[in-house]
A and B are shown apart, each in its own frame.
Chain A
Amino acid sequence: MNVVSTKTIEKVEEQFEAFQILDEQGNIINEAAMPDLSDEQLQELMKRMVYTRIWDQRAISLNRQGRLGFYAPVAGQEASMLGSQFALDKEDWILPGYRDVPQIVWHGLPLYQAFLWSRGHFQGGQIPDGLNIVVPQIIIGAQIIQTAGVALGLKRRGKENIAITYTGDGGASQGDFYEGMNYAGAYNAPAVFIVQNNRFAISVPVEKQSAAKTIAQKAVAAGIEGIQVDGMDVLAVYTATKQARDRALSGEGPTLIETLCYRYGPHTMAGDDPTRYRTSELDDEWAKKDPLVRFRKFLEGKNLWNEEKENEVVEKAKEDIKEAIKKADAAPKQKVTDLISIMFEELPNNLREQMEEYTAKESK
């Protein structure tokens, strides 16, 4: 008998087949798993996805005009991002990665602050009181260990809330990714970890990240539940997140959710050119899976959506974005004294001295 057998791996992989509710034509292929959403909620989900697609288009264009700074495109990931956020309670915590700005905006961060964050202005990070989010995390993986901490905190406080976090397929290779899941598992903390597998970490395909066939199966290493979901299917993402949330709150532990998705745009707007590492065939294949297209077909089939409704959302999005950019433009220019003042509750000597120096400089 071979004590080491490849069958073990195969058996593990069999546990992680992608969960799907809506096919590419907008047909329900898994009626039993259909989430209990009202017509209004279904429409709201569509509105958010359309709105976010327009926002992404505008953000790319505003970035090109130099009116936005750092921006990581989201087109293609609307179902993954918004379907999961839609399953949350408003007091749940979100610890986003750098691409996950839509989730925190739909959770309550004003759009103009998201734009200020993109530009690099401290007011972008001034989370409104009572809104349970943090500033998008640039250090890939850090949000995962922090989420374990927030989830434990919520548990210790006796709150009926969870902490949810997001990373990408590349992020699943980080040590903090494993540590965060493992900590949450060890403390049975109410956390949900979402890996948005868009197949590429900048230019590196997911196959080069790991020999594991799915990312969801990495949950096994932490002894927690893992599920792979069609990340272009908003109903599947919503359902998986909702169930993970319910499980966490009933004391059944954290869940890792892998959403299979695609970003239609570049990694970021900082000069990445996806044609260097992606084929047009691959782009075409994933264009057919567009989360908006299939959900639109589904809703049209139920007479819940039409061109007029869609245009209303498009116009509203454009209007809001214009307003938000205007509001961001009106933010006062940052001064060194501002930056000094937000370092500590009480300034230490060195900063007190520098505060005086820069106050004098700024008053000239």
Chain B
Amino acid sequence: MAQMTMIQAITDAMRNELKNNEDVLVFGEDVGQNGGVFRATEGLQKEFGEERVFDTPLAESGIGGLAIGLALTDFRPVMEIQFFGFLFEVMDSVAGQMNRWRYRSGGKQTMPITIRSPFGGGVKTPEMHADSLEGLVAQTPGIKVVIPSTPYDAKGLLISAIRDNDPVVFLEHMKLYRSFRAEVPEEGYTIPLGKADVKREGKDITIVTYGAMVHSSLKAAEELEKEGIDAEVIDLRTISPLDLDTILASVEKTNRAIVVQEAQKQAGIGANVVAEITERAILQLEAPVLRVAAPDTVYPFAAAEDAWLPDYADIVETAKKVVNF
């Protein structure tokens, strides 16, 4: 075991897989010699060579095409999009090509591609760096979307993502990169994709969340506890597909739920979670399932982040609304 930040755990996962399988290639803008703008690929080119870890020209669409072509020649690409706000440049490769390749070839050609990309607010980035666009890719058939919130989860989930034989979008919240350290096993291990994790057990209300909001929810749960409300916090970890078993088991126990996301209310995947709970457990519910989400504006100017981003106080308030319904 070692104490690692999330970014170290991510680097460790890539190192593990580069070592484990020579078909694994890591590439993107500045991921080579520079080691990535966040040092996520630090030392990897030196260790594995330029043939395995390399820089690309500055063109996201080209990176997507490169990954697809390399997959056709039986490589296992781990491509990086420097910030997920730049997804739009490569949206066709992600949501128009690699996601449907297995299907369009009737199962004959596969795309074992992992797309790593940072996102998320709270660190005062310039425009189009922090936007939560996971909702867009979660709507795309043929792709899985993973968002870890801890160093331990990040490593196990990234190894699973890289080993998965279908495309996986792996989103890394920038605020969580170095905000805390945690115990991470040094050997390679996997966490199944599509499996949520109960980060805090409780019996009064279920908080379904992911990304940085996991930590805000845990903080909110502490506040709620002071008021005698025992909240269960579910970290989805994979937002597509959803782990309905874990969500429903919790709702059946607590009979109340809220969904917490950093994305705007019209975006993210909150609405999908609410719909699934309503379809499958409406008779278990003592109150409607409410959402904590950002306002439906464009992502805020940096200096307005504090006012705009959902925080633990919003979660406490919404949880109380549901408990007191």
Interface string of B45-74 (1 = CB under 8 A from A): 000000100001101011011111111111
Q: Which residue of chain A lies nearest to B193 when distances are taken between CB atoms in the complex?
A: A348
21 A–B contacts, CB within 8 A, in A order: A123-B106, A124-B106, A127-B108, A127-B109, A142-B65, A142-B92, A145-B62, A147-B65, A149-B72, A149-B73, A150-B73, A153-B72, A156-B75, A179-B65, A182-B57, A182-B59, A342-B102, A342-B107, A344-B102, A349-B242, A349-B245
Are A126 and B69 in contact (CB-based, < 8 A)?
no
Total number of A-B contacts with CB less than 8 angstroms? Answer: 136
Q: Is B103 an interface residue (CB 8 A)?
A: yes
Are B92 and A152 in contact (CB-based, < 8 A)?
no
Q: Is B175 an interface residue (CB 8 A)?
A: no
Besides the known contacts A126-B106, A179-B61, 18 further A-B residue pairs in the complex with CB atoms under 8 A apart: A122-B103, A122-B104, A122-B106, A124-B106, A134-B105, A139-B96, A145-B64, A145-B93, A146-B65, A147-B65, A148-B62, A148-B66, A149-B70, A153-B75, A180-B65, A186-B57, A345-B165, A349-B244
Q: Is A279 an interface residue (CB 8 A)?
A: no
The answer to whether residues A157 and B73 also contact, given A126-B108, A183-B56, A343-B141 and a CB cut-off of 8 A, is yes
Q: Is A163 an interface residue (CB 8 A)?
A: yes
Give the CA-CA distance A139 to B141 in the complex, in Å. 18
Q: Is A151 an interface residue (CB 8 A)?
A: yes
Chain B positions within 8 Å of A, measured between CB atoms, are 51, 56-57, 59, 61-62, 64-75, 92-93, 96-97, 102-110, 141-142, 144, 164-166, 194, 240-245
Of B61, B103, B144, the contact of A176 (CB 8 Å cutoff): B61
Q: Which residue of chain B lies nearest to A342 when distances are taken between CB atoms in the complex?
A: B107
**Would you give the shortest CB distance from A87 to chain B, in whole angstroms?**
21
Are A134 and B102 in contact (CB-based, < 8 A)?
no
Give the CA-CA distance A179 to B89 in the complex, in Å. 12
The answer to whether residues A348 and B73 also contact, given A148-B66, A179-B61, A342-B103 and a CB cut-off of 8 A, is no
**Would you give the shortest CB distance from A230 to chain B, in whole angstroms?**
30
Taking CB atoms, residues of chain A closer than 8 Å to B144 are 348
Are B110 and A345 in contact (CB-based, < 8 A)?
yes
Give the CA-CA distance A175 to B60 in the complex, in Å. 11
Taking CB atoms, residues of chain B closer than 8 Å to A142 are 65, 92-93, 96-97
Taking CB atoms, residues of chain A closer than 8 Å to B106 are 122-126, 342
Q: Is A341 an interface residue (CB 8 A)?
A: yes
Taking CB atoms, residues of chain B closer than 8 Å to A186 are 57
Give the CA-CA distance A344 to B240 in the complex, in Å. 13
Interface string of A74-118 (1 = CB under 8 A from B): 000000000000000000010000000000000000000000000
Taking CB atoms, residues of chain B closer than 8 Å to A146 are 65, 68-69, 72, 97
Give the CA-CA distance A180 to B103 in the complex, in Å. 24
Which 8 A/B pairs are nearest by Cβ-Cβ distance?
A149-B69, A145-B65, A153-B73, A348-B241, A126-B106, A150-B69, A179-B62, A149-B66
The answer to whether residues A139 and B97 also contact, given A148-B66, A152-B66 and a CB cut-off of 8 A, is yes
Are B62 and A180 in contact (CB-based, < 8 A)?
yes
Give the CA-CA distance A176 to B62 in the complex, in Å. 7
Taking CB atoms, residues of chain A closer than 8 Å to B141 are 343
Q: Which residue of chain B lies nearest to A181 when distances are taken between CB atoms in the complex?
A: B62
Taking CB atoms, residues of chain A closer than 8 Å to B75 are 153, 156
Are B66 and A145 in contact (CB-based, < 8 A)?
yes
Taking CB atoms, residues of chain A closer than 8 Å to B93 are 142, 145
Give the CA-CA distance A152 to B110 in the complex, in Å. 18
The answer to whether residues A152 and B194 also contact, given A142-B65, A345-B166, A348-B241 and a CB cut-off of 8 A, is no
